[in-house]
Chain A
Amino acid sequence: MSGHASARARATACRTLGQFPTHPEINVRLREALSDVDPWVRYYACQALGRIRDEFSTSAIVALLRDNSGQVQVAALEALARLSGPEPLQALTLASASEDPDIQRAALVALGISKRHEARPILQRALGAGEPATRLVALSALAELGFSDDLRPLIGLTRDPDAAVRIAALGFLSSEVGQAASSALLDLLDHEPTRDDLVVALARPIAGRADTILAALQSAMEPLAVALVAALSRMNSVEAARALESALLSPNDASRRAAAAALSARGELAEKPLLERAALTDRDPEVRRLAAAVFTQ
Chain B
Amino acid sequence: MNATLPLSPQVFAILSGLIEERTGIRYSEADRELLAERVSPRAIERGFDSLLDYYYCLRYDADAGAELALLVDSLVVNETYFFREADALRVVRDLVLAPQIEAGRRPRLWSAACSTGEEPLTQAMLLDAEGLLTRTELVASDISARALERARRGFYRGRALRALPDGVIGRWLFPEDDGVRAASRLLQAVDYRRVNLLDCAAVEALGTFDVILCRNALIYFGDERIKRVVATLSARLAPNGCLVIGVAESLLRFDTALACQEHRGVFVYRKTEP
A38 to chain B, nearest CB (A): 10
Q: A39-B61, A71-B59, A140-B9 are in contact. List 4 more A-B contacts (CB 8 A).
A: A102-B14, A133-B17, A136-B10, A164-B12
* Interface 1/0 per residue, B56-100 and A, CB below 8 Å: 110111100000000000000000000000000000000000000
Q: How far is the CA of A168 from the CA of B32 in the complex (A)?
A: 14
Q: How far is the CA of A164 from the CA of B13 in the complex (A)?
A: 8
> Could you tell me which A residues sit within 8 Å of B by CB distance?
8, 11-12, 15, 39-40, 43, 69-71, 74-75, 102, 105, 109, 132-133, 136-137, 140, 163-164, 167-168
Q: How far is the CA of A154 from the CA of B41 in the complex (A)?
A: 36
Check A71 against B14 for contact (C-beta < 8 Å).
no
Does B191 sit within 8 A of A, measured CB to CB?
Answer: no
* Interface 1/0 per residue, B100-117 and A, CB below 8 Å: 000000000000000000
Check A71 against B56 for contact (C-beta < 8 Å).
yes
Check B59 against A133 for contact (C-beta < 8 Å).
no
Chain A residues with CB under 8 A of B13: 132-133, 136-137, 164
Check B60 against A71 for contact (C-beta < 8 Å).
yes
Which one, B12, B17, B56, contacts A70 given CB within 8 A? B56
Q: How far is the CA of A133 from the CA of B10 in the complex (A)?
A: 7
Chain A residues with CB under 8 A of B10: 105, 109, 133, 136-137, 140
Check B14 against A167 for contact (C-beta < 8 Å).
no
Between B17, B53, B61, B62, the greatest number of chain A beta carbons within 10 A of the residue's beta carbon is seen for: B53
Check B60 against A70 for contact (C-beta < 8 Å).
yes
Is the interface on chain B under 10, 10 to 19, 20 to 34, or 35 or more residues?
Answer: 10 to 19
Check A164 against B9 for contact (C-beta < 8 Å).
yes
Interface residues of B in 93-145 (CB under 8 A from A): none
Check B14 against A105 for contact (C-beta < 8 Å).
yes
Chain B residues with CB under 8 A of A12: 47
Q: How far is the CA of A109 from the CA of B14 in the complex (A)?
A: 13
B177 to chain A, nearest CB (A): 37
Chain A residues with CB under 8 A of B61: 39-40, 71
Does B29 sit within 8 A of A, measured CB to CB?
Answer: yes
Does B28 sit within 8 A of A, measured CB to CB?
Answer: yes
Interface class of chain B by DSSP: helix
Chain B residues with CB under 8 A of A133: 10, 13-14, 17
A112 to chain B, nearest CB (A): 10
Check B14 against A163 for contact (C-beta < 8 Å).
no
Between A12, A43, A163, A164, the greatest number of chain B beta carbons within 10 A of the residue's beta carbon is seen for: A164
Q: How far is the CA of A95 from the CA of B9 in the complex (A)?
A: 22
Chain A residues with CB under 8 A of B53: 43, 71
* Interface 1/0 per residue, B1-35 and A, CB below 8 Å: 00000000110111001000000000011000000
Between B9, B47, B49, the greatest number of chain A beta carbons within 10 A of the residue's beta carbon is seen for: B9
Residue of A nearest to B28 (CB): A163
Chain A residues with CB under 8 A of B59: 70-71, 102
Check A167 against B57 for contact (C-beta < 8 Å).
no
Chain B residues with CB under 8 A of A75: 56
Check B17 against A11 for contact (C-beta < 8 Å).
no
A9 to chain B, nearest CB (A): 10
A-B contact pairs, 21 of them (CB 8 A): A15-B49, A39-B62, A69-B60, A70-B60, A71-B53, A71-B61, A74-B56, A102-B56, A102-B59, A105-B10, A133-B10, A133-B13, A133-B14, A136-B10, A137-B10, A140-B9, A163-B28, A163-B29, A164-B9, A164-B13, A167-B9
Q: How far is the CA of A276 from the CA of B14 in the complex (A)?
A: 55
Between A8, A15, A71, A75, the greatest number of chain B beta carbons within 10 A of the residue's beta carbon is seen for: A71
What 4 pairs across the A-B complex have the smallest Cβ distances?
A: A70-B60, A133-B13, A71-B56, A71-B60
Q: How far is the CA of A132 from the CA of B16 in the complex (A)?
A: 12
Check B29 against A164 for contact (C-beta < 8 Å).
yes
Q: How far is the CA of A137 from the CA of B14 in the complex (A)?
A: 10
Chain B residues with CB under 8 A of A136: 9-10, 13
Chain A residues with CB under 8 A of B9: 136, 140, 164, 167-168
B14 to chain A, nearest CB (A): 5
Residue of B nearest to A44 (CB): B53
Between A11, A12, A74, A163, the greatest number of chain B beta carbons within 10 A of the residue's beta carbon is seen for: A74
Check B47 against A11 for contact (C-beta < 8 Å).
yes
Check B56 against A167 for contact (C-beta < 8 Å).
no
Q: How far is the CA of A12 from the CA of B53 in the complex (A)?
A: 13
Chain A residues with CB under 8 A of B56: 43, 70-71, 74-75, 102
Q: How far is the CA of A39 from the CA of B56 in the complex (A)?
A: 11
B57 to chain A, nearest CB (A): 7
A89 to chain B, nearest CB (A): 22
Residue of B nearest to A171 (CB): B9
Q: How far is the CA of A11 from the CA of B10 in the complex (A)?
A: 25
Q: How far is the CA of A295 from the CA of B17 in the complex (A)?
A: 54
